[in-house]
Amino acid sequence: MNVTNLLVKFALSENASNANNSMGMLVGLFEVGIGWAATQASPEDRFPIIQDLLASNDRVNKDLGLKLCKSWLNTHGGIRMIGAEYQGLRPPIEFWKPKIYGEVFNAWRLVWRHLYSVSRTWVSEQRQEANRLLIEAGFRLIHYSSVSDEIMDTLLELSDDSATDIRSLTHTIIMELRFRTEKMPKGILGRLRKLDKKITGSSFWERFNRYVLNTNWDEDYDYKGNDIKQSNVPPKRISKLASEVAADASLFSKYLPQFVMSDGHRLYEFGLRMSEMLPSSETVDAIIAAQLQAVPAKQTQFIGGFFFGLKQRALEIWEGAIKRLLDDGSSRDIGVDIILRSGVSKNIIQKLIELHAQGLVNVVAFSRLAWQVKEDNIPLEQMEEVLNVLTYSDDNDALKIAIELTDHYFFNKEQPKSCDENLLFRLLTKDKFFDRKFENMIGYHWHVVARGFLDRFPGRDIELFSVIMSHLEDMSSLRSTSYPQQIADEIAKAHPNATWSMISTLLDSDEGVSFYLTSWLGNELEFEEHSQPGAISFFDPQIVMNWVLQDPKKRAWRLIRCLPKTLDEAEGGKLTKLFLEAFGDDEEFSASLISHFWTGGWTGPESAYLSRKRDKARQWLSETRSGKALSWLYRYIASLTEMIKRAELEEERRF
């Protein structure tokens, strides 16, 4: 095992992240399945390495030992490429394989028992890592009847350890009971239910932890084959627990500090049920006081759920409490968090606008309005005021919130709302929306709003087009990922003459601008299977050609990058034909156009791609009458033939 010891030293000191680094190779040596590990050493020979690492006082060594234990206790083999077992003409090396499955079970028991016993004396943090590993591995191992009873004994003991993550353990139990009962060895299902019952306990706080904090989505639904139905059991449990608190003032005062400091799957719902049973000002004051005492350990699930229910039943109490929180600098953040969870009102929105103007509340306070306003009946004029605040804000998140709000509220498909034309235009033309680094989902919202804006205010489309054209340098060169370019396409299709007038002027400007403009006009980065004509095809070919001929030396070369790569008039090829008629006998232009035509993206062999190009060119030969176009096609086909030969040779060599 000297080589393994050396590999341990490498693994502890390296920083490489590739899969076949020293760490990956070392971990792979400690799998115990049938031929999984690339070693001839038996588990008994490998085990001392784990013993030494786990016994070390060095945390790094101990962590490595845990990784090896995890690999050892794995019940499924990974992926291993052909390796050292093949050495030229020598017979392949036979790696260790168990003669009977009992050897694998014994190996699992060996590490399982050792890890459990040695880790009992570790400090809580390290013991927590060991317990987590044992639980993850244990719920795989209990499906093997030879070891399942011993594994269950250990899991029951781990549930009493204060270092065990009970929430994680509970989630794993829920998953096993919900989805894997058919594969359980005899008696294990009953023992799992016993473990679940033990964790649940009988006291209020034990049941609260199990049913409110530590439950998960798996328990919210009943599964029967392919049928999934929402279960009514979890809500009943929550209502029962809330009723106990409402009926017993001592429970409320004892556990309220824990309610406001906890987080859990159904804590929001528990708070909502509490508001149904205790919607008084006294309860509100007690909850707020407890929440303020919990700072900085701020969790607002419980108070958010309580205030959501309170708003529906006692709006004046809810509004008064929110205002008090917002007025006090020490509680303002909590007030905003509660608003985000419970909703808004006309008066609260006005309060937020005033506080934002004073720099006391940032725009995050408005981030959920897109979903809240429908239920809260906020006046249209006030929503426009919020949108105006967001549009002029310097906060980095303001535009994201504004465009999302505009999409969901003012351009809602079911109930669209009117909005000031100039305000919408001001929002749409903010520089940040044209930045390729801006989030793609934000771009989607912008696209929805821009398209809706054009429908409502068709007189502003050329103005919007001008703004988009002025930002081409900032946008992605792929129109499929650039929502502004897609809107520009729509405007150009609808108004070809007006937009061409603008584009032709820009093309005559400095070369930097024209580079990005011709990228949009053409489709140089097209992919064969999804090829579409560029924006140049939206314009009258004769008008474009007349413009080119006014200054052919400069303009022809500027537009060659965006000419449609076809002679089919139905696909925009008329403009290309006109160019060939005018410049087809120019050697340099002809060569550049050949390069332009064959470039692009494809899948499969290059020779096949070029052959498809040549087949299409031969078809155009039979359809073309122009002498200049025919001459160019012959040169193009000859060039493709040469490239096909070279590609085929290279492909044969690679094969």
- The model carries a pTM of 0.81
How does pLDDT run across 629-652, given as a tens digit for each residue? 999 999 999 999 999 999 999 988
Domain ranges of the chain: 2-227, 228-340, 495-655
Confidence at residue 189, expressed as pLDDT on a 0 to 100 scale? 92
Rounded mean pLDDT, 474-502: 90
Contact 373, 386 (CB under 8 A): no
What does the alpha-carbon distance between residue 78 and residue 74 come to, in Å, rounded to a whole number?
9
Tokens of 346: 């006309």
pLDDT at 183 over 90: no
Q: How far apart are the first and last CA of the chain?
A: 41
Confidence at residue 509, expressed as pLDDT on a 0 to 100 scale? 81
For residue 122, name the pLDDT band (cuts at 50, 70, 90). very high
Mean pLDDT of all residues belonging to the chain: 90
Rounded mean pLDDT, 319-328: 97
Output the CA–CA distances (angstroms, integers) from residue 343 to 322, 367, 376, 641, in the order listed. Answer: 11, 11, 7, 69
Contact 233, 284 (CB under 8 A): no
Confidence at residue 444, expressed as pLDDT on a 0 to 100 scale? 93
For residue 436, name the pLDDT band (cuts at 50, 70, 90). confident
How does pLDDT run across 442-487, given as a tens digit for each residue? 999 999 999 999 999 999 999 999 999 999 888 877 777 889 999 9
How does pLDDT run across 125-177, given as a tens digit for each residue? 999 999 999 999 999 999 999 999 999 999 999 999 999 999 999 999 999 98
Q: In what helix (H) or strand (E) does residue 352 lie, and over which residues does it extend?
A: helix 346-357
For residue 296, whether the previous peptide bond is cis, meaning omega lies within 30 degrees of 0, is yes
Output the CA–CA distances (angstroms, integers) from residue 574 to 542, 545, 547, in the order listed. Answer: 9, 10, 15
How does pLDDT run across 609-626, given as a tens digit for each residue? 999 999 999 999 988 888
For residue 391, name the pLDDT band (cuts at 50, 70, 90). very high
pLDDT at 524 over 60: no
What does the alpha-carbon distance between residue 609 and residue 635 come to, in Å, rounded to a whole number?
18
Confidence at residue 11, expressed as pLDDT on a 0 to 100 scale? 67
Sign of CA dihedral 314, 318, 319, 321: positive
Contact 472, 514 (CB under 8 A): no
How does pLDDT run across 504-521, given as a tens digit for each residue? 999 988 667 788 888 889
Confidence at residue 309, expressed as pLDDT on a 0 to 100 scale? 96
Confidence at residue 21, expressed as pLDDT on a 0 to 100 scale? 73
